[in-house]
Amino acid sequence: MQVEYAGQMTNPVVLSVAPAAPGISSLAQNGRGQGAILNQDLSVNSAARPATRGTIVALFGTGEGISFPTLAPGSLVLSTPYPKMAGPVTATVGGQPAEVLYAGAAPFLATGIAQINVRIPTSIPAGDAIIVIHIPASTTTKNVMVSVN
């Protein structure tokens, strides 16, 4: 890719293109540590406000790839049907399979922000657990945690 500005071209840069490159947002805004996750009661997940086993948490992130139906970039996701991620979306919490109830556009936020609702496994130990999302051809890093009680 090259950019032209005021008649001048930048040096060419090679960019990688992938069908998806998912990432879960973190509270520290660096993709590590405590995730930007809402508990089922809409409180922000933390060690002080952990998710109860068996409840649903909402994760937020980007890089989900193709969603259907498509919306214009930068528009707000205001009406149903909300765009859903293409292909199967799976999750693990603390290495255990977790039920994915929704994977698609985050309602009432800008396009490009994904929301994934996951049920916390009932057999998971209390404490911080790594949460990982798997979508076709890609997986999130193992750097984001959810607090569980």
Q: Is residue 14 part of a domain?
A: no
pLDDT tens per residue, range 51-76:
999 999 999 988 877 776 666 666 66
- The conformation of residue 28, written as its DSSP 8-state character, comes to T
CB atoms within 10 A of CB 73: 8
Contact call for residues 15 and 1 (beta carbons, < 8 A) = yes
Q: What is the pLDDT of residue 3?
A: 93
Number of domains into which the chain is organized: 1
User: What are the distances in angstroms from CA 20 to CA 2, 13, 58?
Assistant: 23, 20, 20
Cα–Cα distances in Å, from 32 out to 35, 37, 98?
7, 13, 20
* Stated pTM of the model: 0.78
User: What CATH code is carried by the domain that includes residue 66?
Assistant: 2.60.40
Give domain status of residue 7, yes or no. no
Is residue 9 situated within a structural domain? no
Query: Domain containing 37: what range?
Result: 21-148
pLDDT-derived band at 24, boundaries 50, 70, 90? confident
- In a domain, residue 138? The reply is yes
DSSP lists the bridge partners of residue 80 as none
Specify if 15 maps to a domain: no
Domain annotation covers residue 6: no
49 found inside a domain = yes
Residue-wise pLDDT for 95-140, tens only, equals: 999 999 999 888 877 777 889 999 999 999 999 999 999 887 777 6
The token pair at 116 is 């994934």
Instruction: Find out whether 42 and 35 touch, Cβ atoms under 8 Å.
Output: no
Can you give the pLDDT at residue 75?
65
Q: Say if residues 26 and 61 touch (Cβ distance below 8 Å).
A: no
Residue given tokens 């970039």 in the structure block: 73
Question: Count of CB atoms within 10 A of residue 138's CB?
Answer: 16
Identify any residues that bridge with 62 across adjacent strands, giving them in sequence order: 23
Task: For residue 3, tell me if it sits in a domain.
Answer: no
